[in-house]
Structure 1
Amino acid sequence: MKAAVFHEPNQPLTIEDVEIEKPKRREVLLRTAYAGLCHSDLHFMEGLYPYPTPAVLGHEGAAVVEAVGEDVTYVKPGDHVITCLSVFCGECPQCMTGHPNLCENTEVKLLPGAARRLKWKGEVLHQAFNLSVFAEQMVVHEHAVVKINPEIPLDRAALVGCGVMTGVGAVFHAAKVEPGSTVAILGCGGIGLSAVNGAALAGAARIIAVDTNPSKLDLAKLMGATDTVNASNVDVVATIKEMTGGGVPYSFEAIGLKQTAEQSFAMLRPGGVATIIGMIPLGTRIELHGADFLRDKKIQGTSMGGNRFRVDMPRLLEMWQQGRLKLDHLISGKISLEQINEGFAMLKSGTPVRNLINFGVA
């Protein structure tokens, strides 16, 4: 099969013929339909987060089940699924206390470099995030997929696999935004726009979207933003405090930068909570004023929106069918696997929201 291979940071991915193992006990073989190009993958490609190489990246996708291994009962060949990096065991303390996205079982959620499902030139080709979606096929644990209604278009389904789930989940699960409240969201990429949409679904009365790209701010309005701030020419914190009469009760950082993380905390009103969604580069420290904590201000992170993806993703797709969740606006274009480097170059420019790799699966 064909796959995009990551060799080392800041070098192009190469399209290679690679070998894939047959599914073993509790594993499934998938035929990839669509894969989203996400900023999270770009962080690894730029060396901001280390990963063993060579590897096949990619974590946002939709696929069709081709074969199943022993003891797999959840899916069968022909089923349509969304993949999710939040693979879970269902038995560890995190899973049993309602946090399957934080599963601790390393026999199911394999650590980087542990998987032996891919080979290239006779050597191990590392599987990223227990998925490796930038390939025509995947072998994954059955708990890395959720079965979906086959009537759902697989391109829309792929978006839910990371960006939409993370953005909406941060609003619903991590921050628990209250109806009628005011929300500020820094960054209007795929995750930030999904957080905007999630805030609208949660009943926020005022949703302030912040970005430096006017076209993305326009798109944020379509996703539910009531106000926009172009951060390229204003003091974001001062502007939002003036707009809201002292700050917001909820802020979300969806970029992954030190500056915007600090801004998200600084714009809070007393008692507010800032939720960091973006991947801040490894080793980067953020600086906060200690006295602010005396005013009950809080800052927190979230892993994939605190998802319970087997429950959450079908619900999100049902909301899309009802016209409440907006997915269509997130797709900027579709490319072939061979165009993946050009796709990431466009992503780095900040122009598109989501380009999808189309693997030609009906």
Structure 2
Amino acid sequence: MNFDFSEEQQMLKDSVARFVQDEYDFEARNKVVANEAGFSQENWQKFAELGWLSIPFSETLGGFGGGATDTMVVMEELGKGLVAEPFIASVLMFGGLLQSTAQSDERDALIGGIIEGSVQGAVAYAEPQSRFEMQDVRCRAEQDGDAYRLSGEKSLVLNAMSADKIIVSARVSGEQSDEQGIALFLVDANAEGLSKTSLRTMDAQVVANIALENVTAIALCGANEGLALLKQMRQQVIVALAAEALGIMEKLNATTLEYCKTRKQFGVAIGSFQALQHRMVDTFMASEQCKSLLYRAVCSIEQGEDVANIEKNVLALKVMVGKAGKLIGGEAIQLHGGMGMTDELDVGHYVRRLLTINAAFGDADYQQQRFAELSLAS
């Protein structure tokens, strides 16, 4: 198969790489994440001007009309720069769900705002008790005329503190873990009855726990469509996160290799020690395995393969990213010695992001169990 990128995809990749190299070094990144929002609005507007925020949206909505490959090339380069701007949360999660719902003037206007960089969004799907199970929903929705009233709690909502609008999963009917009866609702981020508690994850992202008490909301889908839309979004975002993780792994491997060539012990570079060479080969092979599985998952999505086959490819990818991330991150820290643990060196920050990606939507152990169950079922 031909895995070469098209001319447009290569230009897109080079555009993101130039931004990271010229304007987003480690020092600049630290200044960005230190502010209250956890990212730079100036950078976000630059992303809009460069057309990056339009990539996953259809041309009829004013977007680039890109597919999984286009998103992959962007996320890999963003990963190399450890870019903190909420591309995943606002564009892929919030925007992706909006695009999957029925056409309406408000939906189209919000997507137009995302593309222009004037609208930020978030998706609130996880709850304190739900862990990785998206169907475990206690948040309730009660109809109130043409609108709904939401009451419940949501946990660790990415980009909630900067969002203008939030998509919330809530139960219209059924019991706590029923797969039926879940719908998606659009709420104003500053609506009456909605309160947010800000906190930071270990990779310095700003997230929020949300409490809703009779919050006015607009239904985006039918009572039994919400979970399917969330699962579709999860699959797309897992692939994007895997691409980001691949960029991080490649960066860590390159940084560690360079360090091993320059750090001397007993009068020689530590990279000359055969034992360390073997360990560097192991980390290189781990990243290459992730790349192969990533390409396989992206190809299966773009070629429209069987749904079960796509799901298995995505699950295998998530498992490999989790395991390879722990290996590569651990070796990078250990081979850098004591410096690898300090905040002053970028290595530890990359590793923390890898660990966060592993936990997102279910860690490697959880996804391996899902893969086994799907394989047995088929």
* TM-score of the superposed pair, with normalisation by structure 2: 0.25
Structure with more relative contact order (C-alpha pairs < 8 Å, separation 6 or more): 1
Larger Rg: 2
* TM-score of the superposed pair, with normalisation by structure 1: 0.25
Higher strand share: 1
Higher helix share: 2
